[in-house]
Structure 1
């Protein structure tokens, strides 16, 4: 089994990563501190629309030449977000739900590409089927940084970075108990309590716990989750604060595999349509037993009025037993062949991020300088069936009336022992300059060293890959008095891939770059914001699904797009969240004839709007909300997928100061639609109705 890092190894790694910061601090702090002595106080910026730690420094997102969005805890609760990929349904540039309901993966596409997920500023490791799933009930907000972000986060797909922020201890006593029930046997109990420890004013705690059970849209599927997340904050001094964060989450599920063939979903057949609830898996055999646990800390120490040192550390583990069967291809007039994915193993990972942040002022300028060194270590050891990750499973199954039991269970002789190790060290520098309260300049660079080592212990073979990459980022923004702030930016990304293709070979690193121009509008008379942007993202060494169902690396992807997004109060009672996305996403086949085609899954048009109205004058405590989500048509080869629109509703009533009742309905009309096709086709999520009762103190 994979070994946890020893204390000696951790000490050496931390010492190595701190060396650069210590050297820089010794050189830079005296010089800049001297400049600060003669500096004037900063000009007041007024109320910030939003600040984002996804930028690794506290900064007003509306005054930064980078595109992003933030969803706070209030919105997560109001829309009853149950999974991370439901968070940005009403934000521009984000596609979710394209694979229908899925209980073991968060599926998102941002600006036509994959994204990287972080929690509390540290990478969440998701390798193949070893998925870490953040629990939304344990989060206080979720941040999205769109486009390539390797300057701050090292390896990442060009779509962007999602940073989920865990709930932290509070200085005052507060808490809630949340009870839910709904369709598909949904039931949930959540408890969240925090406050000072005893009579101490320097020590506070938080304890978040949850139990949830629900059945899936597919027949014979279910998921049961237990979640516990304690945290503790110690204000060691006026200059130093330490927060300890831990969590453990256990999921026992029958996996939801919504894979279906175009035959019977998009395409007409003599046998009619395949029912969306049809399950081609083997419910009595399939299982998804996953336990994820983590422990870490966040440390902040103010060195002086200019410099602050910050350090985040986390050790995490994902333990998985997965048996997951799915339909692969058609073998007869109404029959198909199934394949099986089997995984039995674990991921052990630890990561540390060290930052030295300096902030100082002169008569005309405001400077924010960021130095950082981070290190990531990942070991994935497990057993799997087949070098390509899946093997044929059982005899033919009826596509329209599946009968179960015609299969032979996996045995030890069918398994391959695979061990993948990855280490990455990154050094980054970013400088943000604010000039005359009119101009914002942002520039940065990062150098990464990544090593991937893949060992097939069964065959006795080894593959190694090294990648040294330098990433650049830059941007400029003009701040006008009327809140109209145009900007331009350029960013890059790279992503070493630790998995292997259908032949067992390591993938080449993916590389991306983006050029963007846009405007952020936040005038004084608008309680909210409006953003608009045009962009172009190019990625080489892209992954795609071959006709044999494996992930292959034979293409380049490009997305040229336009986004419009707004979150604002139209009146004191009426709030509007609206978004529009245009994406021209294409794929060029680099290994064949350089032909170009539309990228599957990615619609050319998406639009959404959500309205909240609070009946303050007529029915105090009552809020009603509703939204519509439009996803345009897509194309996979010769398969055309029609557009669709779904409606969501919410009603919330504060019964008393402490008690609140809420009802959420998604896909109100229970519309049956195909969400997308990418070799397989996927029905969209069915209607869901959930009633909640919340007690707060």
Structure 2
């Protein structure tokens, strides 16, 4: 970490001497300390004629360089020397407002609500682009309405225009724009398993509109308004989340102005996807608006015998209850049927060199998943500085999979004894959450406060079926397998287990401003969780019940942000998080949670009047008490005093895993038709202490390097106006799958060989190209993906070796109304 500090300081040198910011930026660095002491602050809110917050309006003091922009809640805040001014509120589509204001030194003046009526001037051919930079747009998943530039954490947001421009279809397409977050596997081809900074991001780390969702299914991307990433620890906000970070899918919201689109996407491998998006006021109401997103998708695959079909609907209603209260009701329904596909197989931890499309399953396999959710978000502005927000959410998840066993224990000659298997999961998830956010001052200090509490509950039922020996095929020559069967088996139900989880937490966080340049962040969360399992075995009709476990933990967070100028932040932070462990300790009790300590430093910059954002972050994450099975011998002849022969499967917190790395994120705003996104990440996650694994061994699935670059251009002011094109390049470095080698000893303390091995996966680079043309209400976009026809694999252990798709094409035609 020390070696990185000189580099960080060098990065800030050219920034401090950048061209002065425009009038819409608050300038703090051009005044003496004496003048700054006589400064005061103005704060207020801008609403439309319908009493809706207006985002992106310029709020400036006439004849000065002091100004700012309204946030997503319509609020603004600026600082200036004491005196009287004319405050000018202006923006595209709204009539300019002017009012006299007085700034009192050392005080904050709260202005009356400003109403900005719509402009009567007719606008022709105007394209409105986002007014916020990567560092200026607060993320909903952060709960506190504070711009990322003021927070000691790496944050990324991918907005809807980028998603449309790149014609994203899956989350993996979206992640190609974010450094350090990647797909670690696609087990069975039915999901995309995400990871960040060396740690898996399971369902605890994936959110939709602020509520957790089960990521065992491929989520729908066409309905997204934006994609948010909080890298690093988010334990203070959500409890036991993995240390690498969290993602939040923000779906499109209702609008009062009528509009929408109807589209059709077609592509390689018989891909067809009609899409509908419509919105507007309910009737002629000024208080109720709606939105409906719906899609249908059917496709085959480059994999022989693999197909999919899915239906999606995302209806929502927005209720305006007066000028201060909103209620947003959102529904989400997805049914996904597809062929489970465990890939091309491996022999003795070696990838099989065979056709990319070779399928080792059977014609009767099927994976059916239904996911549905309903959420209600309540927001009430108590005044210009304080807001109360509540969220109540339900999610149902049902999965039924009839499959051929994964290709494991394959013989050297390629023979694979297949079994017929079935499994099922039924899950109900309930969440209640309430947050109070506010801004106030105590003397010279400013505060941005978050206080909240949440409680959630999982009710999960798993169905297990008896595995049936089915047939034997040869994965090298499956078409010549004489014992290959085609009839559909009927595995018998073997057991049903019920695993409830109940959690609750309370948290508080304060971002304290000490003058114009320094901010301190401090907060803590208390989390409580209880869980237990009941299992009914049908063979003997026996009911077993695990002893319930009760866990709690405190998760502190500290950070400091230094802003030498208003467009640059240098930060450092510490956070603690935890994850729960399965299994029992040597005494038969529940195993304690594993604790993670995370350290992060970085610099955030908005350059060239906000046209370019460039952020660099370095981090170190240490899990100092990783859970491992207790070994009887630690070395030849050295018996482990913690081992109990009566509990040979007991576990202990005896390992340590350390992740360290560097991330760079660069994003531009559109300028003269050009826009681009770039990123790079380096990560090294390894065992740094273990009684089971070799110290220094890398953890699986994590590429040491990733990089991304996308550039797009839209023709302006010429006969070809509306034509756009771009390229997206994504690089994934070397990584490993398989299984880490273990140091094992027999009952006599002698070292025994372990047949586990790692599978080295080579680096690859994928290049995509898009071109589009918009004419009045019609838009046609074409995409060529994996232009170089690169071959690589997403591998889970050694039993789901799924090749990436070859070169493929897609076309999307959209009619807007």
Q: TM-score range by the shorter chain?
A: 0.7 to 0.9
Q: Distance in 1 between the 2:709 and 2:584 partners?
A: 41
Structural mapping, 1:446-525, within 5 Å: 446-458=525-537, 459-463=542-546, 464-481=548-565, 483-496=567-580, 509-525=593-609
| TM-fit CA distance, 1:523 | 2.8
Which one of 47, 61, 77 corresponds to residue 148 of structure 2? 61
Contact 2:186 2:192 in 1 (8 A): no
1:646 counterpart residue number: 766
Contact 1:303 1:309 in 2 (8 A): yes
Provide closer, same or farther for how the CA distance between residues 604 and 544 of structure 1 changes in structure 2, counting only shifts above 3 A: farther
Deviates more, 1:520-529 or 1:567-576: 567-576
1:624 counterpart residue number: 725
CA shift digits 1:504-548 (9 cap, x unpaired): 998764432210100001135341300001101123566899xxx
2:710 counterpart residue number: 610
Contact 1:567 1:578 in 2 (8 A): yes
Contact 2:686 2:695 in 1 (8 A): no
| TM-fit CA distance, 1:216 | 2.9
CA shift digits 1:458-492 (9 cap, x unpaired): 14211222211111111111112262211001122
1:207 counterpart residue number: 292
| TM-fit CA distance, 1:103 | 4.5
Larger radius of gyration: 2
Q: Distance in 2 between the 1:183 and 1:541 partners?
A: 48
SS, match of residue 692 in structure 1: strand
Contact 1:538 1:559 in 2 (8 A): yes
SS, match of residue 136 in structure 1: coil
SS, match of residue 669 in structure 1: coil
Q: TM-score, normalised by structure 1?
A: 0.85
Which one of 521, 524, 530 corresponds to residue 445 of structure 1? 524
Which one of 422, 432, 439 corresponds to residue 359 of structure 1? 439
Provide closer, same or farther for how the CA distance between residues 646 and 37 of structure 1 changes in structure 2, counting only shifts above 3 A: same
Which one of 683, 689, 696 corresponds to residue 809 of structure 2? 689
Contact 1:487 1:518 in 2 (8 A): yes
1:679 counterpart residue number: 798
Structural mapping, 1:404-443, within 5 Å: 404-405=484-485, 409-413=489-493, 415-443=494-522
SS, match of residue 137 in structure 1: coil
The reply on whether 1:124 has 2:213 as its aligned counterpart is yes
Provide closer, same or farther for how the CA distance between residues 190 and 510 of structure 1 changes in structure 2, counting only shifts above 3 A: farther
Provide closer, same or farther for how the CA distance between residues 411 and 499 of structure 1 changes in structure 2, counting only shifts above 3 A: farther
| TM-fit CA distance, 1:235 | 0.7
1:396 counterpart residue number: 472
1:662 counterpart residue number: 781
SS, match of residue 282 in structure 1: coil
Contact 2:278 2:291 in 1 (8 A): yes
CA shift digits 1:26-61 (9 cap, x unpaired): xxxxxxxxxx99941489xx9653221121122211
Q: Distance in 2 between the 1:639 and 1:440 partners?
A: 46
1:346 counterpart residue number: 426
Q: Distance in 2 between the 1:37 and 1:572 partners?
A: 41
Q: Distance in 1 between the 2:174 and 2:234 partners?
A: 20
The reply on whether 1:380 has 2:456 as its aligned counterpart is no
Contact 1:614 1:623 in 2 (8 A): yes
Structure 2, unmatched stretches of 5+, are 1-103, 112-130, 630-648, 738-756
SS, match of residue 149 in structure 2: helix
Deviates more, 1:583-592 or 1:168-177: 583-592
| TM-fit CA distance, 1:436 | 2.1
| TM-fit CA distance, 1:555 | 5.1
Name the structure, 1 or 2, with higher relative contact order (CA <8 Å, separation 6+).
1
1:539 counterpart residue number: 623
Contact 1:635 1:677 in 2 (8 A): no
Provide closer, same or farther for how the CA distance between residues 580 and 319 of structure 1 changes in structure 2, counting only shifts above 3 A: same
1:256 counterpart residue number: 341
Contact 1:483 1:524 in 2 (8 A): no
| TM-fit CA distance, 1:243 | 0.7
The reply on whether 1:40 has 2:125 as its aligned counterpart is no
CA shift digits 1:377-417 (9 cap, x unpaired): 1111131136xxxx57523321122254278834325x211
Q: Distance in 2 between the 1:190 and 1:544 partners?
A: 48
The reply on whether 1:104 has 2:184 as its aligned counterpart is no
Contact 1:440 1:476 in 2 (8 A): yes
The reply on whether 1:153 has 2:238 as its aligned counterpart is yes
2:676 counterpart residue number: 576
| TM-fit CA distance, 1:439 | 1.6
Contact 1:172 1:196 in 2 (8 A): yes
The reply on whether 1:633 has 2:722 as its aligned counterpart is no
Q: Distance in 2 between the 1:632 and 1:38 partners?
A: 53
Deviates more, 1:102-111 or 1:468-477: 102-111
2:325 counterpart residue number: 240
SS, match of residue 87 in structure 1: helix
1:10 counterpart residue number: none
Q: Distance in 1 between the 2:176 and 2:323 partners?
A: 41
Deviates more, 1:99-108 or 1:328-337: 99-108
| TM-fit CA distance, 1:675 | 4.6
**Paired residue total:** 636
SS, match of residue 90 in structure 1: coil
Q: Distance in 1 between the 2:148 and 2:188 partners?
A: 32
CA shift digits 1:556-611 (9 cap, x unpaired): 43211011110115852222211111111113573426533012221212112111
| TM-fit CA distance, 1:134 | 2.9
Structure 1, unmatched stretches of 5+, are 1-35, 268-272
Q: Distance in 1 between the 2:198 and 2:767 partners?
A: 23
Contact 2:344 2:358 in 1 (8 A): no
| TM-fit CA distance, 1:340 | 5.4
The reply on whether 1:198 has 2:283 as its aligned counterpart is yes
Provide closer, same or farther for how the CA distance between residues 209 and 629 of structure 1 changes in structure 2, counting only shifts above 3 A: same
Structural mapping, 1:218-367, within 5 Å: 218-258=303-343, 260-261=345-346, 266=351, 273-284=353-364, 286-325=365-404, 326-338=406-418, 341-361=421-441, 364-367=444-447
| TM-fit CA distance, 1:500 | 11
Q: Distance in 1 between the 2:670 and 2:256 partners?
A: 33
Contact 2:455 2:504 in 1 (8 A): yes
Q: Distance in 1 between the 2:168 and 2:583 partners?
A: 31
Provide closer, same or farther for how the CA distance between residues 341 and 508 of structure 1 changes in structure 2, counting only shifts above 3 A: farther
Q: Distance in 1 between the 2:356 and 2:589 partners?
A: 36
SS, match of residue 304 in structure 1: coil
Q: TM-score, normalised by structure 2?
A: 0.73
1:14 counterpart residue number: none
Provide closer, same or farther for how the CA distance between residues 179 and 406 of structure 1 changes in structure 2, counting only shifts above 3 A: closer
Q: Distance in 2 between the 1:540 and 1:309 partners?
A: 38
SS, match of residue 395 in structure 1: strand
